[in-house]
Amino acid sequence: MARRDMGKLVFLDLVDRSGRIQLLYEPAALGEAQLNLGDLVGVEGQPMRTRRGEPSLRVRELRVLARIRRPLPDTFHGLTDVEQRYRRRYLDLLMNEETRADFMLRARIVAAVRRFLDDDGFIEVETPILQPRYGGGFAEPFVTHHNVLDQDVYLRIATELYLKRLIVGGLEKVYELAKDFRNEGVSYKRNPEFTMLEWYEAYADYRDTMVRTENLIEFVARETLGRTLVTFKDHEVDLKAPWQRVRLVDELDTLGLWTRDFDDLKQRLESRDVDVSQDKTWAQLVDKAITAYVEPRLIRPTILYDYPIELSPFARTTDDDPTIVERFEYFVGGMELGNAFSELNDAEEQAQRFAIQAEEVARGNVEAEQGDPDYVEALSYGMPPTGGCGLGIDRLTMVLAGKDSIRDVILFPALRDKP
């Protein structure tokens, strides 16, 4: 990746995943170095240090393994055009050591997540990507057609409903690191194809899951970075457990945005110049209020808990208020990392919740749950009280790597075709 001709010696910089080392090449003994920047070579030689103490290799034999056929970008400045870095990630990795380090960090994050859950007695499973019904989240799916079965199928938007079938089956503690797909917009924190961790634990509730979530993220930070203090979106935050806890309804009330009346809430948001022209239901308005006013305030690691039932078709209601469910989302630097709740485990109530979601669909909410009769049947065989959680691996990597865009932590992010 670099060459310096010094008469009797040629200094070459050899680079691979482990780093960079200097080669001392002697043309008088080995012949002229017929090399171009970017050639792949295999080298044998004697380890040594230069007079300045730099670790080097005195070359005995050098073989060209592959010739470069296109010139590399400027080796001093690297590949700096952001669009080209995403489109030609192989060049970004080749030229930018920081990029290589980021994706090696991501690999260590995934390994640490597995280690944490495996050590706590969870088993890793795999569930279908192509599903006859999509569910487990509020999202518009990608749809395709199965020719042999002659039916439309959906790329999963979540693994939730299949993982909870396994809890019914007695596996008790399961997790999946999965690719999910949502047919929605692209932003600094959204990519239509993303990696999600979901775990489900029998005989646990959302408060148990809060503790496990905090501990998992602290563990991953320590394992991969050696510390819990990170800088994300210009904020220095400490991921050490326990995290701040904030009740959602109280936060909305403090902001003057808690009302169950659709027209009233719509008017309050419009008065603050929030665009609600496409929102057809009260649940959509509440979600808009959370996104616009609550999330940006949650800079330090925070658990936001106790959500309205309309936003959470799979969560158990609280003992004190049947309109509020045992659900929490958790945030760092004003960005949501994941979602969790005490799972609803009553088949009849689940069927009623699906019916409520069907009304949401009828009122124009294309992201509402479609219902899943087979899942309701599974619940009818009995599911123990269960705590479940989803964690966005891409977003966690953003936090630990200090990256502002999800595209920087996905090797091949979604991009528009070139014009």
Mean of pLDDT over the chain: 94
In the sheet where 143-146 sits, what is the strand order? 130-131, 151-155, 143-146
How far, in Å, CA of 244 to CA of 301, rounded? 6
Confidence of residue 353 (pLDDT cuts 50, 70, 90): confident
Arithmetic mean of pLDDT, 388-409: 98
pTM greater than 0.85: yes
Per cent of the chain over pLDDT 70 is 98
Decide if pLDDT at 163 tops 80.
yes
Q: Count CA within 13 A, CB hemisphere, residue 161.
A: 26
Encoded amino acid at 331, one letter: F
The pLDDT assigned to 419 comes to 65
Confidence of residue 367 (pLDDT cuts 50, 70, 90): low
Confidence of residue 226 (pLDDT cuts 50, 70, 90): very high
Confidence of residue 175 (pLDDT cuts 50, 70, 90): very high
Decide if pLDDT at 59 tops 90.
yes
Q: How far apart are the first and last CA of the chain?
A: 33
The pLDDT assigned to 315 comes to 93
Helix, strand, or coil here: 92?
A: helix
**Pick from 207, 172, 141: which is nearest to 369 by CA?**
141
Confidence of residue 366 (pLDDT cuts 50, 70, 90): low
**φ, ψ (nearest 5 deg) of residue 157:** -100, -15
Confidence of residue 371 (pLDDT cuts 50, 70, 90): confident
- The single-letter DSSP state of residue 138 is S
> How many other C-beta atoms lie within 10 A of the C-beta of residue 186?
14
**Pick from 289, 301, 299: which is nearest to 255 by CA?**
289
131-145, 283-297, 371-385: which has the minimum mean pLDDT? 131-145
Arithmetic mean of pLDDT, 136-155: 93
The pLDDT assigned to 416 comes to 87
Q: Strand 244-247 and strand 302-308: pairing? A: parallel
The pLDDT assigned to 417 comes to 85
